[in-house]
Amino acid sequence: MPLALFALAVAAFGIGTTEFVIMGLLPEVAADLRVSIPDAGLLITGYALGVVFGAPILAIATANMPRKATLLGMTLTFVLGNVLCAMSPTYAALMSARVITALCHGAFFGIGSVVAAGLVAPNKRAQAIALMFTGLTLANVLGVPLGTALGQALGWRSTFWAVSIIGIIAMIAQMVWLPKHIAMDKSNLVLELRVLGKTNVLLSLLMSVLASASLFSVFTYIAPILRDVTGVSPHGITIMLLIFGVGLTIGSMLGGKLADSRLLPSLIGMAVATVLIVGVFSQTSHHVIPAAITLLLWGITAFALCPILQLLIIDQASEAPNLGSTLNQSAFNLGNATGAWIGGLVVASGVDLAELPWTGAGVAVLTLLVSLFYIYLQRRRAAVARA
């Protein structure tokens, strides 16, 4: 794999860390800026919305710009956004800085996926995408715990300064390792927007929303589940989340290999596995060792879907791969917010935390049904074409 992919992975590591580390620093941020914990939690929502709406706008705006310059510009925006976060004197300033930082998130992963896929042989495209996304999974395994510990020890602003340094390292790596000239097709705005009307593209995006919603409808409340149902200590929760993060990393690489060999069967297989494993978690969550094994397997299946769905959208939006790939990042983040909302409604209704995984399994069933319908349409079109 080219070193350019590692440069993209470093940037993905920084972006993933800055997105999720705020969850562990909410008490410190709330106390310093004199806001409530729920208000501080809106910093997560603001970031997600910045990704959802900013990604397609940036993708269209940079459609005909050189790919290397575009990626460097987005990484620079990421660095400046984190510097502004670290320097924010008020809650409103921090919210604005978070939104600025989020603008580059979806477009970077979207365009970066297309660039990564173009740097390798056709039968290695999904593995290249998975390698870039490994930076995102490692952010959950290493970046978030270390960033949280740093913020708790030296103040939450120190975490954003540290992430800014990671962004600078990523920029240097991209300058050195990304090719000067990356092949790209000239964009036509009408053709780009026309892609949004394709049924296959819309179904692919819907699958991404549902897969992410399935994950976050449960994972948003994983700490109280592990504490109140499994009976794990605060230190033990950190270890359990580390195990889950290892699963995410394995799943990303596994999904890349599977997608390069058999894309659609892998999609169905991982969707079925996710339904079963999330459902089983409602039973295994009562005991530490079974819960840990289930979390590992859940991480593998949940993130194996990411490179599969990313390659699927690149193939289906072939006339506008950058826009399609970027919209897929918006879809993932929309699923994050939707899943957390659904899970919150279920918990607020009085359902026992041990039963919450059935909600995630139910949403995963919808992912599976949409996947089967997608394959049905593909085969019907193929049959019509042969006739």
**Distance, CA of 141 to CA of 135 (rounded, Å):** 10
Q: Do domains 1-184 and 188-387 have the same CATH topology?
A: yes
300 burial type by CB count under 10 A (0-12 exposed, 13-18 middle, 19+ buried): buried
Q: Is the dihedral of CA 193, 196, 201, 207 positive or negative?
A: positive
The answer, as to whether pTM is greater than 0.85, is: no
Instruction: Give the domain ranges of the chain.
Output: 1-184, 188-387
Mean pLDDT of the chain: 88
Confidence of residue 145 (pLDDT cuts 50, 70, 90): confident
Q: What is the pLDDT of residue 203?
A: 93
Tell me the two tokens of residue 19: 């997105």
The model's confidence at residue 188, banded by pLDDT at 50, 70 and 90, is low
| Model confidence pLDDT, tens digit, residues 45-97 | 788 888 888 888 888 888 788 889 999 999 999 999 999 999 999 999 999 99
Pull the structure tokens for residue 250.
């394995």
> From CA 233, how far away is CA 214, in angstroms rounded?
26
**From 77-81, 91-95, 307-311, 314-318, the region with the lowest mean pLDDT:** 314-318
Whether residue 207 has pLDDT greater than 90:
yes
The fraction of the chain above a pLDDT of 90, given in percent, is 44
Class of domain 188-387: mainly alpha
Q: Which CATH class is domain 1-184?
A: mainly alpha
pLDDT tens digit sequence for 250-284: 998 899 888 888 889 999 999 999 999 999 999 99
Burial class (CB in 10 A: 0-12, 13-18, 19+), 324: buried
CA gap 155, 150 in Å, rounded: 7
Q: How many CA atoms lie within 13 A of 50 on its CB side?
A: 20
Residue with tokens 């994950």: 215
- 288 token code pair: 């530490």
For residue 203, the Cα-to-chain-centroid distance in whole angstroms is 18
